[in-house]
A and B are shown apart, each in its own frame.
Chain A
Amino acid sequence: MPISESDVRHVAMLARLALSDEQVTQLTEELGAILGHIDELQHLDLADVQPTAHPLDMTNVMRPDEVRPGLTREDALANAPQTEDGAFVVPPIVGGGDDA
Chain B
Amino acid sequence: MKYIDEYRDSKLCEKLASQIAKIAKGKYITLMEVCGTHTMSIARYGIKNLLPPNIQLLSGPGCPVCVTADADIDKAIAYAEKENIILTTFGDMMKVPGTFSSLSTEKSKGREIKVVYSAADALQLAISNPEKIVVFLGVGFETTIPTVAVSILDAKMNGIKNYYVLSMHKLIPPALRALLDDKEVCVDGFILPGHVSTIIGVEAYKVIPEEYGVACAITGFEPVDILQGILLLVKQIVYGKPRVENQYRRVVKEHGNPKAQRLIEEVFEPTDCEWRGLGVIPRSGLKIKDKYSDFDIEKKIKIKIQKRKKNTRCICGEILRGVKTPLDCTLFGKRCTPENPVGPCMVSSEGTCAAYYKYGFNSRAMQEEKL
Physical interaction between A and B:
no
